[in-house]
Amino acid sequence: MDNLLARFAENAFWIARYVERADNLARILDVNETFARNNDGEQDWLPIVQLHSDEEHFFERNKEATADSVIFFYILDRNNTSSLISLVRIARENAREIRHLLSTEMWTHINVFYNRLSAMSQRQLTLSRLSGICASIKLDCQLHTGIVEGTLYRDQLWRFYQIGRSIERADMATRFLDIKYHRILPSLSDVGTPVDISEWNALLRSVAGYHAYLRVTPKGMGLESIASFLLFNTRFPRSLAAAVNHVHDHLNSLRAFESLQHVEVPMKTIATLFGIIKTYDTTTVVNEGMHEFLDRIQALLIDFTDELGCTYFGHQQ
Amino acid sequence: MPSDGLLAKYDPNGFFCELFGKMDAPSDHTAKVRDRLSKIKLTGLRRRSKAAENELYNLGITFTVYSEKDSIDRVFPFDVIPRVLSPQDWQILETGVKQRVAALNAFLHDIYHKQHILNDGTVPAELILENKNYQPVMQGFDVPRGTYVHICGIDIVRDHEGRLLVLEDNARTPSGVSYVVENRYLMQRAFPDLMSKIGIRSISNYGPKLHGALKEVSPGGDPDAQVVLLTPGVFNSAYFEHIFLAREMGVPLVSGNDIFVGDDDRVYMKTTAGPERVHVIYRRIDDAFLDPEVFLPTSLLGVPGLMRAYRKGTVTLANAVGTGVADDKAVYAYMPRIIKYYLDQDPILDNVQTHICREEDGLNYTLNNLSDLVIKPVGESGGYGITIGPHASEEELLACHDKLRADPKNFISQPMIDLSVCPTLVDTGIEPRHVDLRPFAVTGKDTWVLPGGLTRVALRKGSIVVNSSQGGGSKDTWVLG
């Protein structure tokens, strides 16, 4: 058979999204830890909770957003569905449902990845070890991506997987900007101060974009050029534009090489995103309001996921 | 007597040993294996055994135990010392299993058609017609190629003299074949030195063989028929096996929600491009859950309308509906007569002597010899509800006596078989542990038997209960020649 069961397509989409999300969460925790270090440990961990809109859930069981409580909540707390262990668990569950379509290497690695996280205890989650833990999680996520690249059969399943990963990256590109621009920024008066610069620096490093950014913008750190880099630079693999391009290509391939019908439905939203990327630059974004702009992009990404679900995953309208 | 090295202190305590045969005259066919084994040190064996266990865990060859809050993955214990079968023994097993499968299919065809065997009293009619696994919905329905039992697992034991005997037929959804194949792969990685150039028969083609047979029984026997494997889902303890089978056949692993019956009474699966036809379903869910319109109305695992499609002949189910009546422990007792009845042959593999408690003689004999017999309820599987007379306490025997009196029809009894043993790695070293064997037979047009089968081993000292739910493990099974 050439066509894929609708559920399998959805499983593949979510494996990619959850692993990518775990990768990004590890990066967010890492960069916040760096902020904390730069600010003599005074750095607030609350923005991480706010970024995920987890306030209610978090404060049900924690009095304060301390480093310890936030780190546990986002790494090992199984009651938190957006903790790293939960993300990897859900990725693994999705993989288990289509285990028969995955390479043994791909399955074994995700299984071992989850088992390793499961074996970790709360005592190991000290602030001093956080960076190392995040590095090892990032490495596992990248290992996963590499195994997929090298072993996963490239039929529809692989394309839905690729779309899932890019949608998550697009989402994360906007969140990363949000965390710095809207939430963490202490106050307007800090803009351009050494603390501000070092935080941009850390942010770029956390998305592995620091050196690429310098090559593109030799003049140095600036809010607008960094936002432009993360949103509109098609050559940076974690940018919004690169992700949207990638989704666009895979949708086209589903139509051209896999003969799938109704590609126009999700394609419409991608075309809208495309249009925005083409016509906006950072100045227009800042004029509209960065946060409002990012919200609009995120809403479109949610629309796209719904359309994909209705068109290919067998969801009801 | 046992040679030097690893097996120097091994003593099978008078039981028939699968590796040595009779201890006073060790089997020739295992000489090479024994020689190679004896050169491995115990510490080395433990290290390799531990590595194999880790590998099972990493590969996710596990079953999941769910509690309210959490889920724990467990591996089925694997013993690294293989069980080795001679070409002569395999010849008997293979032909015996084929004969048995032929008789089971003929029997099922008969009881779901004209019921000759019931009408002439060879098998009591009420035993079949009142059996909870008898499915009236199958009456008068013709299955493709007359095959009801496409996948059959027949449990075999060996007694103290080395005779191979059938303990049980599994004609519903026998499981375990994934462990047969995975155990082999594991052994090939961990013990290449033990296995090279001794002529072990390959088992790696189980998937293609099964796929081929299932296509043979598709409606119209279409070689391009779409086969799917229907699983109850990830929570099922045999889910790993379902993955394995789908992978080895290269077919989709579907849940009830992934397929549906159309207005045209055909079965379709929901794909990214809309509905696509399904011709054969290897279903790993019980009859009762297959179709809520016909069987349990509360079942969420099945497919509404499936029986309608099945009876119209637009889809083949493997195994067929209603095969459970043939592997009932009470029907088992009649199998030698059933083989004679349909095939006019003597059984190649004998049954274990069985007393049918629904018959007065059988009940009286059982009640009078309780402490020498194994008493089994007929409806249960997985080793549950068994009383092993020689190992039972006074109280257990009394309780068993009462149960027999209250509901004799529900029981059979058999003499205690001194199950053969195999050297097994345990905490205290290498000791004999009791084993059985489940060969797997696949039937489309013809019957093919996977050379080997699942050797289950009772890891507890002295235990003869090999079920994985009760402390059993497994071994790789080598057929030589």
The full length of chain B comes to 481
CB-based contact A286:B246 (threshold 8 Å): no
> Do the Cβ atoms of B151 and B440 come closer than 8 Å?
yes
Q: Which residue has the higher pLDDT, B375 or A53?
A: B375
Instruction: Report the range out of A42-46, A182-186, B302-306, B381-385 with the highest average pLDDT.
Output: B302-306
DSSP sequence for B257-313: GGEEE-TTS-EEEEETTEEEEE-EEEE-S-HHHH-TTTS-TT-SSS-TTHHHHHHHT
Place of tokens 């992009």: A297
Predicted confidence (pLDDT) per residue in B230-242, tens digit: 999 998 989 999 9
Q: B187 is written with which tokens?
A: 């052994």
**Inter-chain Cβ pairs, chain A and chain B, closer than 8 A:** 67
Q: Is B351 helix (H, G, I), strand (E, B) or coil?
A: strand
| pLDDT attached to residue B1 | 46
CB-CB contact of B99 with B321 (8 Å): no
List the one residue out of B256, B265, B270, B260 whose CA is nearest residue B298.
B256
pLDDT of residue A40: 54
Question: Strands B440-443 and B447-449, how do they pair?
Answer: antiparallel
Using a 10 angstrom Cβ sphere, with 0-12 exposed, 13-18 middle and 19 or more buried, the burial of residue B130 is: exposed
Q: What is the pLDDT of residue A116?
A: 95
**What residues in B contact A259, CB-CB < 8 Å?**
273
CA distance B184 to chain A (A): 16
Cβ-defined contact of B258 to A5 (cutoff 8 Å): yes
Q: Is A250 exposed, middle or buried (0-12, 13-18, 19+ CB in 10 A)?
A: buried
Contact A104/B257, CB-based, under 8 Å?
A: no
How close is the nearest chain B Cα to the Cα of A23, in Å?
A: 21
Whether the CB-CB separation of A251 and A270 falls below 8 Å is answered with yes
> How crowded is residue B132: how many other Cβ atoms within 10 Å of its Cβ?
11
Q: Do B273 and A259 touch (CB under 8 A)?
A: yes
pLDDT of residue B398: 94
**Residue A203: other Cβ atoms inside 10 A:** 25
Do A221 and A200 meet the contact criterion of CB atoms below 8 Å apart?
Answer: yes
Provide the total of helices (H) and of strands (E) in chain B, helices listed first: 15, 25
**Strand arrangement of the beta sheet that strand B387-388 belongs to:** B355-356, B411-415, B373-377, B387-388
CA neighbours within 13 Å on the CB side: how many for A227?
22
**B379 falls in which pLDDT band (50, 70, 90)?**
low
Q: Choose the closest CB to A4 out of B59, B247, B271.
A: B271
Contact between chains at B269 and A99 (C-beta distance less than 8 A) = no
Range from A111-120, A190-199, B51-60, B445-454 carrying the lowest mean pLDDT: A190-199
Chain A residues whose beta carbon lies within 8 Å of the beta carbon of residue B255: 7
At B474 the pLDDT is 96
User: What percentage of chain B exceeds 90 in pLDDT?
Assistant: 84
Q: What is the pLDDT of residue A178?
A: 78
Judged by CB atoms closer than 8 Å, whether chains meet at A99 and B60 is answered as: yes
Residues of A in contact with B270 (CB under 8 A): 5-7, 314
Shortest Cα–Cα distance, B481 to chain A (Å)? 31
> What does the longest C-alpha to C-alpha distance in chain B come to?
71
Q: Quick check: helix, strand or coil at residue B411?
A: strand
- Residue B154 in contact with residue B441, Cβ under 8 Å? yes
Distances, alpha carbon A299 to alpha carbons A25, A163, A234, A296, B357, in Å: 20, 17, 21, 5, 71
Nearest CA in chain B to A94: B234
Would you state the pLDDT for residue A189?
59
- Residue from the list A1, A6, A156 with its beta carbon closest to the beta carbon of B270: A6
Most distant pair of Cα atoms in chain A: their distance: 62
Cβ burial, residue B393 (10 Å; 0-12/13-18/19+)? exposed
Phi, psi of A248 (to 5 degrees): -55, -50
Distance CA B277, CA A7 (A): 16
- What number is the average pLDDT over the span A145-162? 97
d(CA B450, CA B462): 29
Mean pLDDT of B412-417: 92
What residue spans of B130-231 are helical by DSSP H?
A: 177-190, 192-195, 206-216
Whether the per-residue pLDDT at A164 is higher than 70: the answer is: yes
Rounded to two decimals, the ipTM of the complex is 0.90
Predicted local distance difference test score (pLDDT) of residue A38? 61
**Interval B118-128 mean pLDDT:** 94
CB atoms within 10 A of CB A143: 15
Instruction: Give tens-digit pLDDT for A16-32.
Output: 999 999 999 999 898 88
pTM of the model: 0.93
Cβ–Cβ gap B59/A1 under 8 Å: no
What residue of B is the nearest CA neighbor of A98? B253
DSSP SS3 for B372: helix
**Which pLDDT score is estimated for B325?**
95
At A88-100, the pLDDT tens digits run 999 999 999 999 9
> Which residues in chain B are contacts of A313 at CB distance < 8 A?
272
Question: Helix, strand, coil: what percent of chain B each, to 5?
Answer: 35, 25, 40
Token duo for residue A170: 């697009």
Residues of A in contact with B232 (CB under 8 A): none
Mutate to test the interface with A, among B272, B276, B277, B280 (most CBs of A within 10 A): B272
Minimal CA separation from B146 to chain A, in Å: 28
How far, in Å, CA of A98 to CA of B233, rounded? Answer: 11
pLDDT on residue A220? 73
Average pLDDT over residues B300-318: 96
Distance from CA of B464 to the nearest CA of A (A): 34
As a whole number of angstroms, the distance between CA B417 and CA B163 comes to 11
Partners of residue B244 in chain A, C-beta under 8 Å: 100
pLDDT at A52 over 60: yes
Looking at this protein, which amino acid is placed at residue A252? N
Q: Is B442 helix (H, G, I), strand (E, B) or coil?
A: strand
Q: Pick the closest to residue A297 from A240, A216, A226 (CA basis).
A: A240
Output the CA–CA distances (angstroms, integers) from residue B437 to A230, A295, B155, B186, in the order listed.
62, 63, 6, 19
Q: Which two tokens stand for residue B121?
A: 């009293």
Q: CA B455, CA B187: separation in Å to the nearest integer? A: 14
The chain A residue lying nearest B269, using CA atoms, is: A5
Q: What pLDDT, in 10s, does the model give residues B361-375? A: 999 999 999 999 999
Mean pLDDT of B453-478: 91
Q: Report the alpha-carbon distance of residue B84 to residue B476 in Å, rounded.
A: 8
Q: What distance in Å separates residue B247's CA from the closest CA in chain A?
A: 5
Listed residue (B146, B213, B171, B168) closest to B319, CA to CA: B171
In sequence order, the 6+-apart residues with CB closer than 8 A to the CB of B454 are B153, B176, B177, B179, B180, B437, B438, B440, B474, B477
CB distance A8–B252 less than 8 Å? yes
Quick check: B195 and B183 in contact, CB under 8 A?
Answer: no
Percent of chain B exceeding pLDDT 70 equals: 97
Answer whether B127's CB lies under 8 Å from B134's CB.
no
pLDDT digits (tens, 9 = 90+) for B147-184: 999 999 999 999 999 999 999 999 999 999 999 999 99
For residues A206 and A30, is the Cβ–Cβ distance under 8 A? yes
By residue count, chain A amounts to 317
Do B243 and A99 make contact, defined as CB atoms within 8 angstroms?
Answer: yes
Chain B interface, best mutation among A99, A105, A116, A147, by max B CB count within 10 A: A99
Q: Rounded CA gap, A76 and B183, in Å?
A: 34
Radius of gyration of chain B (CA): 23
Nearest-Cα distance to chain A for B172, in Å, is 23
The mean pLDDT of A241-260, rounded to a whole number, is: 96
The two structure tokens encoding residue B115: 């019921």
**Chain B residues close to A97, C-beta within 8 Å:** 234
How many other CB atoms are there within 10 angstroms of residue B136's CB atom?
Answer: 9
The whole-angstrom separation of Cα A175 and Cα A20 is 13
Q: Which two tokens stand for residue B173?
A: 């959804």
Share of chain A above pLDDT 70, in %: 92
Q: Chain B: which residues have CB within 8 Å of chain A? A: 57-60, 70, 73, 226, 234, 239, 243-244, 246-247, 252-255, 257-258, 269-273, 276
Q: How far apart are CA A40 and CA B476, in angstroms?
A: 60
Rg (CA), chain A: 20
Bigger pLDDT: A35 vs B344: B344
Contacts of A253 in chain B (CB under 8 A): none
In DSSP terms, which residues pair with B259 in a beta bridge?
Answer: B269
Averaged over B252-281, what is the pLDDT?
97
* B246:A7 CB<8 A: no
Q: B105: closest CA among B333, B378, B389, B447? A: B447
Contact B272 A96 (CB under 8 A): no
Nearest residue in B to A119, CA atom: B72
Of A6, A97, A108, the CB nearest to B59: A108
